[in-house]
Structure 1
């Protein structure tokens, strides 16, 4: 038993989606759709979720342009790509959760940015992402 820890906890989840990062690097919309359907997406949070309630992922943060009123959803392939100026908390959003959020807010969100600060930013319309998630 030497070297083994008693009661070792499960490792914390990695806040990244390598398939999404690869799709952004190649700017391939089909690969982006596949990555969104089959893996989590990192979302910034206004309010973190309740740790005692796995159904509560928190409140997803969106950006409202003060000049136009346009609302953008910022998504990330890796929490390391989130700019420091955004809220500190992040969550992993499942494909179903992302689809539900986009569906509920499609009329308000004007655009979705992926890895807005790089290394390979990409932009899409909410309707295109909903179609990709539904495929």
Structure 2
């Protein structure tokens, strides 16, 4: 009798809260979703499978005409255009904050779900401010 393999459920590359917030174009809801769930980022180079701390190298878009750099974030891996690198990672809020702080002088804009269904754009400073908001009890 063959036994069923038991394993972890597949990782869901989706942030439903962020998808809902983008659908309504509600900046407060987007900020809340960014603080409380992961964001999907395209990877230039995936991380090492045996090292959970190695997420990989986040892919950014550099406009060949202006040199400006954009960070592309997604609410769902299914929203990532096929023309971008195929690998994705879940970026938790603290990692997104650190990434933006490190690259704040280089990144000029942040796009959410660039190709839809409900795209939104923000400055890195605005995204950092959204991530830093703390609710007082």
Q: Which secondary structure state, in structure 1, belongs to the residue aligned with residue 121 of structure 2?
A: strand
2-side partners of 1:125 and 1:3: how far apart? 54
Q: Distance in 1 between matches of 2:100 and 2:128?
A: 7
State the match for 1:51 in structure 2. 49
Q: Which residue of 1 aligns with 2:19?
A: 21
TM-score by length of 2: 0.94
Residues 11-52 of structure 1 show CA distances to partners (whole Å, capped at 9, x for unaligned) of: 121000000000000001100000000000000000001110
| RMSD of aligned residue pairs (Cα, Å) | 1.3
| Corresponding pairs, count | 133
Measured after TM superposition, the shift of residue 107 of structure 1 is 0.5
Structure 1 residues 4 and 31: CA distance shift in structure 2, 3 A:
farther
Q: Equivalent residue for 2:4?
A: 5
Alignment of 1:88 with 2:86, yes or no, is: yes
Question: 1:69-105: CA deviations, max 9, x gaps?
Answer: 0000000000000000000000000000000000000
Q: TM-score, normalised by structure 1?
A: 0.95
